[in-house]
Structure 1
Amino acid sequence: MGFKELGLKEKVLKAIDDMGFEEPSKIQAEAIPVILDGFDVIGQAQTGTGKTLAFGAPIIDRFTGSDNEIYSVILAPTRELAIQVNDELARIAKYTDIKLLPVYGGTPVDRQIKALKKGIDVIVGTPGRVLDLLRRNIISLKGVCYLVVDEADEMLDMGFIDDIEEIIRQCNDDRQTMMFSATMPDAIRRLTKKYMKPEARFISIVKNTMTVSTVDQYYYEIKHENRFESLCRILDVDEPSSAIIFCKTKKGVDELTEALQERGYNVEGMHGDMNQSQRLNTLKKFRGGNLDFLVATDVAARGIDVENVTHVINYDMPQDVESYVHRVGRTARVNRKGTAYTLVTAREYMALKQIERAIKCKIRRKEIPTIDDIFQAKYNNILKRVKEVLIQEEYKRFVPLVVELDEEFNLVDVAAALMSMVYNKELSYDYKENSIGIESKRVRLFISVGRRDKISSRQLLKFLSDTADIDRRDVDDIEIYDRFTFIDVAENTARAILKRSSGKIMGGKRIRVEVSNARR
């Protein structure tokens, strides 16, 4: 089934096509027609399965124009998720005049109020900030047509259920309500029974076993403008013998294939617009070892079963977790080991972490290779080949020529010149800077509460989320001792916690947060 069969209008279909999605995920295929038919929806599906498009496409599809009332409100548990959902909706709404606004704490409310007074159709916000705006009488939800509660179980864990109920009570009774959650605890079930229509549809996407245990998985954090050069650096260092490189769009496949071919890579592309004969011919060459690299979309790669694929490279992030697993599964066939790389911008990092949690497997960070790294890798490869030639003794017919050179040049210089020629011939890209990597520092924080203060990891995460407005999933390695606690966080998250949480009251005690210089 394609998106065209779901009943969406052309303006939304065109935007989805621009986003590069060739076919709907399971939750999208099941939820979109039901939402378009006007039913309330309870959707149970894992994070990373494409839920935002599942509710966003029909909401935007049914928008007929502004009437100075808020048309839809979407609740998300964290600031980061609110921004992420809003960005996704903006892409779906590309060919409409719908006005969107993310609202969340941790930033001055005045700017958000100013934007709201100009007229906004869709609010994507955290419960706390939406409730704040309601209490200030800045917004009214009496005209809301669609209410969405996203990641409902996360809301429960973070203590937002009371806030959500208050927001729901301020919406009109005729609204269409959608609630999405990875799990369905009793508190969420009670919420759906209390506030959703009796004929609400329950859609559950059973999660397939997702295993990629035989694949070494890594990601490279890149700048968007360096995406192609980053790929070239990775290929020049690793020199995969057989790799599938995934792009999200057919246009992307064509452009990347052409760019790689121009730089001497043995590569061809494959996507849905190619006829069956073209695809079969390309696949035959790849399977037979006559192609080093295959650039493909998810749909085109379906069914590819090539035993000798050593690498899978996600040039573009996959649409959802299942797509990631399917891509990565193209390597490590027949109990062989395989390697999977994913290129990730800062904006895409949270989506990668969602995939990591869903597959229950660590995706480790690697640094983008420097020119020094490339030189060393090429040198090792050339040296290996030279040693192989020396062992085979096929070089001996060239000895008289080298003797002549010996009369004029130092033979060490001659060998270095020959290696330089081979190196330059094998280098694919005119690299200018030694390094184009992004430094992502982790900071270890000391917090002056511990077990004797009767705190738990959950309580600590809620406290940090409430006071510093951070995403609790950015907090790693919580170590609670009797009198203090250590946490590891990203550098920007650390700044927020140090500024906003230190000195606040937790469990009746004013806490102190400091940067830890060493593990205690």
Structure 2
Amino acid sequence: MFGVYDNKDGGGWNTTKDAYTSFVARPDRGKSAFFNNGGTAPRGSYQRGGFGGSGNSRWVEESRDDEDWSKPTQANERLEQELFAGGNTGINFDNYDDIPVEATGQNCPHHIDSFQDVEMGEIIMSNIALTRYTRPTPVQKYAIPIIKNKRDLMACAQTGSGKTAAFLLPVLSQIYTEGPGEALAAQKSGGQDNGKYGRRKQYPLALVLAPTRELALQIYEEARKFAYRSRVRPCVVYGGADIGQQIRDLERGCHLLVATPGRLVDMMERGKIGLDYCNYLVLDEADRMLDMGFEPQIRRIVEQDTMPPKGIRQTMMFSATFPKEIQILARDFLEEYIFLAVGRVGSTSENITQKVVWVEDGDKRSFLLDLLNATGKNSLTLVFVETKKGADALEDFLYREGYACTSIHGDRSQRDREEALHQFRSGRCPILVATAVAARGLDISNVKHVINFDLPSDIEEYVHRIGRTGRVGNLGLATSFFNDKNGNITKDLLDILVEAKQEVPSWLESLAYEHQHKRNYSHQGGVDWWGN
């Protein structure tokens, strides 16, 4: 493991720089490579009129009332290779049994210890084997039986804990068991209120709402895996992409819809989506959706349209934090729900080694190069900055220094963002410079190092950022550059490090003490430590 970082007095890494001297051309410099045969489009990009399909593209025409949805369809070797080639490797579950889990609520179902402990059907169990999941994570142990027992759920769990599979597995299992029901008849009728908007209206059986395009795509990709060899067709809709293309993809059939709230409202108002038969509602990263101002759209979708009311539909909310706003939403949307807390809500994982180093602004770039060389040439490294301008500037600097890198922020087009993530995931650009747009929800396998080039202004953002490494039991490293500008999170950062049993620099303890002392002094009529 790396040594203690303490650069306050000008020290730092004693390493030899080993930039990517063999790197000739920056893969994402010429964006045209994304659109021609010179580059491989990332999975999840539109192909042949839709998002790569799930093997069930003609479900509307082929579905019959007498079909048994619980039986697997014919295997597709090409699709199977596409969906499951990545798999799960190197997962470390040793520390999972020590993570505290608390489930509260009336008649809470007993947790499971293996996927075989609950009946999820042939299709799900086969796909679990293909994903090479060996045992459930803590949130999966508790959430799967709760959802299978048709209970509403409010789950707070550390980022990277396996939440996506925790709701997809039981929801899809129930859909396979129950079949399409009335939604199939409505689909065949074409939706009588479609009017001038033309082709068939879709009636998904399950809806997953997510705050960002990237997270929506990620959930969709997981849904494709667990819908393999089934009659369920997942779809995804989100802003920033061609709505006409998304409509055409929807018209090929949609049973499970993953959506960002704004684009879903648009689709509903165009008469393309009806929620009349949506029996399963999932809000993922619910706290983030409220932070981003999505509450009016969420309430419009859930309360002001044709979605079955709570108590009829089954609702699941997942969140890393549980502030008052989330509690209100839970009360309004959930019926006699079970509250599940995995680990301390809002805490970090002990699988992540956290280092905090004092680095003045003028020394950050030099210190970053030392870190990148020490981490290793092929290690995936995520570097967080505060501003879009800062992301572009740092990417250009690293590129000039010979590093294979790319960036992601809110001003980049959706296609550029998807391509940047693909370049990073594939390892062709093992360094990704990102703003907060990449901080939450993204599940990128094997991120070895998260570097906070600029620390965020609040501790929750810090928790989410470093949660991009050390995911699902893997070990990770997070390094944060700290200086006088970050004084506002000193105490919270210290608390996080202590709680996660991390090494605390002596200067950080002194600063936290000084900060608290001067705050107490200001409350007694003095000035605060910023001199105000």
Same fold (TM over 0.5): no
When the two structures are superposed, what TM-score results if normalisation uses the length of structure 1? 0.44
Structure exhibiting the larger radius of gyration computed from Cα positions: 1
The structure in which a higher percent of residues are helix is 1
When the two structures are superposed, what TM-score results if normalisation uses the length of structure 2? 0.43
